[in-house]
Structure 1
Amino acid sequence: MNLAIRHVRITPIAFRDPPLLNAAGIHEPWALRSVIEIETACGRVGINETYGDQSMLEVLARAAPALQGLSPWDLNVMESRVQTLVQPASNASEFQGEQISLAPGTHVSKNVAKVVNAFEVAMLDLQGQLANAPVVDLLGGAARDTVPFSAYLFFKYAEHIDHPYAADPWGEGIQPEALVVQACRMIEQYGFKSIKLKAGVFPPEQEVAALLALTQAFPDAPLRIDPNANWSVATSLKVIEQLRGVLEYYEDPAPGLDGMAAVAYKLREMGGVPLATNMVVTDYKEFAENVRLGCPVRIVLSDHHYWGGLRTTQQLARLCQTFDMGLSMHSNSHLGISLIAMTHLAASVPHLAYACDTHYPWQDEEVVQGGRLKFENGSLRVPRGPGLGVTIDSEALARLHDNYLHCGIRNRDDLGQMRKYDPTFTGKQPRY
């Protein structure tokens, strides 16, 4: 059997995304992703899903020759080749426009890690097919059979201003009572046990009121809030005073590791809640700096898409355990391939301390055969089939690629989209 990799197909796709509000602005009508297919000479195909903005597509195309002739087992060689092909451009000024970044998925400094992940997951999918084993077994075996996820709530408008398709069924979510209705629906449909609110959108008192309403409606549910560093240190501390005893963790309230540290040191005096991040501890260098400062961030919300894959995230988990830090997982708008890769990874990590994030309930399209993945009591069961345990629906892939060709979006721009609603919106951070 000839296992040499002979083709790498990169297919950009777009799928409907609701008008979800965040610190940087608002989601555009279409979310961009790309589907990776790595084919061997014997016809086996491994798959993955990753970012789909124009700069990512360009760097993926630049790196694709790194796989030519490799075996699916040659992960270390793949990484070395990717570093050679991609590293020279990693510090280049490829980022366009004024877009405010909420997470490192858009950072060109993460290009090597993002490409390594894109190829690694697809190669692990191939390995699993060849070994007749699920990816979780290649990662050491399952520490759990199901992986818990959290209800991820957003302030949102009822429909997009540019009306590219029918309004989504969730409706407007601005006032506290609307967020409670949103949570009720999401928990009833998916069975989630914990709740996260994306904040940093409206004045903090409005967002505090929403969280207190959620507390009253769901007194036993662990709650989290994430203003995406849109609050000053003073505001972050004022808010936490109003939320004493409410939060499971406090995610990225203030900008930068120094700002987070200032909040954390004061919280320690108050006997307060732990800080979590997906913004200031996003690679091993930043992890080391957090340790040097005495671990003001206590919970790392990892993301295999920009940490560099599944194996390096397992290494991160061991470091978190060593330094008595918690670990969970960050999410962005994604479909089932990313979600199932995340599930295999989370199942393989004994030190998973909190339910993971997922945007999946906000999406209504899918690219895998069999359609939408099914949650049971807020969790996903780890597939036991070979590799990732999912395959591509070719008709769905063609349809979502056609969306990409016609949607007119090539780079995510929450700021530009928000200016369609409010031309004076600057996206300045911290805003409160």
Structure 2
Amino acid sequence: MLGIKITGLRATPVNIPLEKPMWWTGGYYPGTSKTIIEVETDQGIVGLGEAPSIDVLESIRAMGERLIGADPLDVATCESLCVPPWQIVQNTDDSSVVKAFGAIEIALWDIRGKVAGEPLYRLLGGAVRKEIPFTEYFGYRVGGETEPQEVANYCARMSEEHGSTMFEGKLILGEPELEIDTVKALRETLGRKAMLRLDSNMQYSLPTAFRLFREIEPYNIRNYEDPVATFEEMAELRRHFTIPISTHTPDIRKAVATRGPAYIVTNFAVLGGIARAVRFIGACEAMGIGFWCYSGDAGITTAGYLHMSAAMPWISEPSQSLFRWQIGDVIEGGPFQQKNDVIAVPEGPGLGVSLDREALNHWHNHLVQNGPLDHFYDPAMPGRFRRLPLN
């Protein structure tokens, strides 16, 4: 298809609520708010993208104006129209433009796949796997699990109902002893073979993390994400314990220099899009740093995860998921849900998913009527952010 041009871009903010709010380090987590992107072309092909937040909404719309008339297959030129020189953005400017364009860039790849009539994973070199693993999620939830054995029983039920053997969660109520007790209950209930990963979103001081790791190390923890606030503190933990550590901070150079996190867990839009994510993952492979994708996204970003994980041999660990808890999505048939730990990669052209217009309007209206889903506030003190005691 020759001469295809971008004719418009629509950016729609939506809420993606959870069935029951979860507690996390930052506060009360009722779900997240996303920006859904539709890049329109003069050939009638529409590419779908998704930003992991709504703070970049206006930047995305402004970039859409700049892209009018551009060739959506020429990703490099589209980036040059939207993003200042990369080294300046990363060091001295507002890096939110990277996230804004990264979300649009996903839509450009969706267009590329639709023009070629091929699923995204084939454009990335073909599939090394067709079934992509994801973890189930657990945690302390409002109106749900509030005690260690309740969390363990929930995971056991997911195992019985869905064949789940991989689990990850946040055990964050400001009490390390509660986390220790829950880890013990999980292992005793699920047995030796279940995968257990933990995440505290940098909750703990280094002395408390030492105490926590000493207690949970015998329970075969596959990975602990951001147990402390800095790479240097992570490196100190790794010198004394065998539990691998991951981080949401995508800094390969510092990870290698400090020997802190062994894995980086992030979102493709945050990295600047599909093309830059491919290069980022290649750099991770060269430096021996693992990679997987985080949770809480709608079906468009999730489809991107599926295709990238299909095509990239280095993504060997399961990505996170909140699929079972999400009560809505913007794609037809969404949210994705795993069975026996895996989801099949979509085989349709591009991302292989279709927008559910009725669902998009519904969750946009939810945001308009209720406001964005703020996962930092303290429900006990309206207007204030939650603060856990520093342990």
TM-score where L is the length of structure 2: 0.92
Q: Over residues 324-358 of structure 1, what are the superposed CA-to-partner deviations in whole Å (9 max), with x where a residue is unaligned?
A: 22222222x22211211111111111011311101
1:141 alignment partner in structure 2: 126
- Identical amino acids, percent of aligned pairs: 27
Q: Deviations over 1:212-266 (max 9, x none)?
A: 1111111211111111111111111111111123211121111122222222233
Tell me what 1:184 maps to: 156
Alignment of 1:71 onto 2:35: no
Q: Is the 8 A contact 2:5 2:68 kept in 1?
A: yes
Aligned residue for 2:22? Answer: 20
Partner Cα distance (1:139, 1:402) in 2? 36
How much has 1:425 moved relative to structure 2?
7.8
Determine helix, strand or coil for the equivalent of 1:35.
strand
Structure 1 residue aligned with 2:190 = 218
Q: Which residue pairs with 1:379 in the alignment?
A: 342
In the alignment, the residues of structure 2 paired with residue 306 and residue 132 of structure 1 have an alpha-carbon distance, to the nearest angstrom, of 27
User: Which one of the candidate residues 218, 242, 246 is aligned to 1:276?
Assistant: 246
TM-score by length of 1: 0.83
Q: Does the 8 A contact of 2:10 with 2:38 survive in 1? A: yes
**Which of 380, 398, 402 is matched with 2:365 structurally?**
402
Q: In structure 1, what is the Cα distance between the partners aligned to 2:25 and 2:210?
A: 18
Q: CA shift at 1:61, angstroms? A: 1.7
Query: What are the within-5 Å matches in structure 2 for residues 275-294 of structure 1?
Result: 275-278=245-248, 281-282=249-250, 286-293=251-258
How well do the aligned residues superpose, as a CA RMSD in angstroms? 2.4
Q: CA deviation at 1:90?
A: 8.6
CA apart distance, 1:424: 11
Structure 2 runs not aligned, ≥5 long? none
Question: Per the alignment, do residues 426 and 367 of structure 1 end up closer, same or farther by CA in structure 2, a change over 3 Å counting?
Answer: closer
Measured in 1, the distance between the counterparts of 2:16 and 2:343 equals 22
Match of 1:335 among 294, 298, 304: 298
In 2: Cα distance, 1:81 partner to 1:234 partner: 48
Unmatched 5+ stretches in structure 1: 93-107, 159-171
Q: Out of 226, 229, 240, which is 1:266 matched to?
A: 240
Change (3 A) 1:371 1:298: closer
Change (3 A) 1:414 1:374: closer
Counterpart of 1:47, as a letter, is L
The 5-angstrom pairing of residues 13-412 of structure 1 reads 13-17=14-18, 18-28=20-30, 31-53=32-54, 55-84=55-84, 109-158=94-143, 172-219=144-191, 220-245=193-218, 246-267=220-241, 272-278=242-248, 281-282=249-250, 286-293=251-258, 295-331=259-295, 333-409=296-372, 412=373
> Offset at 1:60?
1.2
Counterpart amino acid of 2:67? L
- AA matched with 1:147: I
Match of 2:375 in 1: 414
Count, aligned residues: 387
Residue-by-residue CA offset, 1:275-307 (whole Å, 9 max, x unaligned): 1111xx32xxx21122222x2211111321211
How far the C-alpha of 1:428 sits from its partner, in A, is: 4.2
1: distance between equivalents of 2:290 and 2:86? 32
Q: Could you tell me whether the CA contact under 8 Å between 1:110 and 1:306 is conserved in 2?
A: no
Q: CA deviation at 1:127?
A: 0.7
Question: How far, CA to CA, are the matches of 2:94 and 2:238 in structure 1?
Answer: 27
Report the CA distance between 1:189 and its aligned residue. 4.1
Please give the alpha-carbon distance, in whole angstroms, between the structure 1 residues aligned to 2:91 and 2:375: 23
SS at match of 2:262: strand
Q: Give the secondary-structure state (helix, strand or coil) at the position aligned to 1:243.
A: helix
Note if contact 2:132-2:343 (Cα within 8 Å) is conserved in structure 1.
yes
More moved, 133-142 vs 252-261: 252-261
